[in-house]
Amino acid sequence: MREWVIPFSFQKEEEVSFQLYEAGFHHFYIEEPIMQIKTEDGYGVQKLEEGTAQLHLFPEDDWSTEEIAAIVGVTVEDIKEKEWKEEQAAYENITLPSGWKVIYPPFPAKKGEKELLLDPQGAFGTGVHGTTQDSLDILMELPLENGRKAADIGTGSGILAVGAAVKGVQVDAFDIQPVQREVTHQAELNHVQERIIVKEQDVLSEDLETYHYDLIIINIGASVTKEWLQSKRVFEKSTCSLYLVSGIVDWSKDGIIALFHDAGFKLCNSRQSEEWHTLLFTDGQGEDVT
């Protein structure tokens, strides 16, 4: 596949698009100028009304750079051809500070005692991001007993649910996306499919069937975490004494800590990867997790 990338003034977007269509060039798209901004959940983008846009054209054999340059109002030298390479995502096995390992395909003939097998399929939670690794590291160090029950809010690939299940915990794995197939796949790889129930539902619009959990794992960002805890009055309804909260950026951390402090919880453990924080809260009524 060939691709030409051409910078031009975004104020000429409509004019350039019209002239390209009129000239019979239809295989293109325009990348609008944006600015990265901070949000409560991390980062977002804001569209700019002015600035340099990028025109991406996929030329056919009879297209000439001179003709395209004349339409866009640039020089031939401004037109750069992008190189396409077939790349396949590769994952390197991860060793957590706790001694647990995340193992990617190809899998060994026999799973080790402190190994979690993960076959990324597309959902959030490949194990690469620091928040996932930090959450796993804290989770695998917790003195969780067989028969305890956990809720994993925003389960994604199910890697955190699998981690809890490997330790003998029964897990309800919630996600607004259709993740049933992927979570089941990860659970079967680790032989814990009987301990995980996937529930595809929006926790903001529906109450959980039960709030009787020993551990609640939340990895959905600060704004949604606060909205769920407050709008669903989770602290009032739940008997949970342990919350593992991840995906929290520097500028949202104090607000999350204050929210839990006001509900009678204290921060008892934490991890940080760059600007991302993973926080463990306890009400002091359960096991000693420090």
In a domain, residue 175? The reply is yes
- Based on the fold, state whether residues 204 and 109 are members of the same structural domain: yes
- Phi/psi at 52 (nearest 5 deg)? -95, 120
Whether 162 shows a pLDDT value over 80: the answer reads yes
Among 42, 58, 82, the domain boundary falls at: 82
Residue 287 lies in a domain: no
Residue 289 lies in a domain: no
Would the pLDDT of 288 be above 60? no
Shared domain check, 148 and 278:
yes
pLDDT at 46: 77
Strands (E), the chain: 3-9, 28-31, 34-39, 42-47, 52-57, 80-82, 94-95, 101-103, 115-117, 149-153, 170-175, 196-200, 215-218, 242-249, 266-273, 276-282
Do residues 43 and 123 share a domain? no
CATH number of 172's domain = 3.40.50.150
Euclidean distance between the first and final Cα of the chain, in Å? 55
Is the pTM for the entire model greater than 0.85? no
The mean per-residue pLDDT over the stretch 149-170 comes to 96
Q: Is pLDDT of 142 > 80?
A: yes
Whole-angstrom distance, CA of residue 54 vs CA of residue 66: 18
Give the mean pLDDT of 221-228. 93
How large is the average pLDDT for residues 185-214?
Answer: 93
Mean pLDDT of the chain: 89
Q: Is residue 8 part of a domain?
A: yes
Residues 259 and 135 in one domain: yes
102 and 157 both lie in a single domain? yes
Answer yes or no: is 69 within a domain. Answer: yes
Give the structural domain span for 10: 3-82
139/265 same-domain check: yes
Task: Please tell me the predicted confidence (pLDDT) of residue 1.
Answer: 67
Residue 288 lies in a domain: no
State mean pLDDT over 127-147. 91
User: What is the model's pLDDT at position 121?
Assistant: 85
Q: How many domains does the chain have?
A: 2
Q: Would you say residue 287 has pLDDT above 70?
A: no
- Is residue 254 in a domain? yes
How high is the pLDDT of residue 85? 59
Rounded to 5°, angle at Cα 174 from 165 and 98: 35
Confidence check: pLDDT of 65 > 70: yes
Rounded Cα gap, residues 82 and 193, in angstroms = 45
pLDDT, tens only, 70-122 = 988 899 999 998 876 555 557 899 999 999 999 999 999 888 999 999 998 87
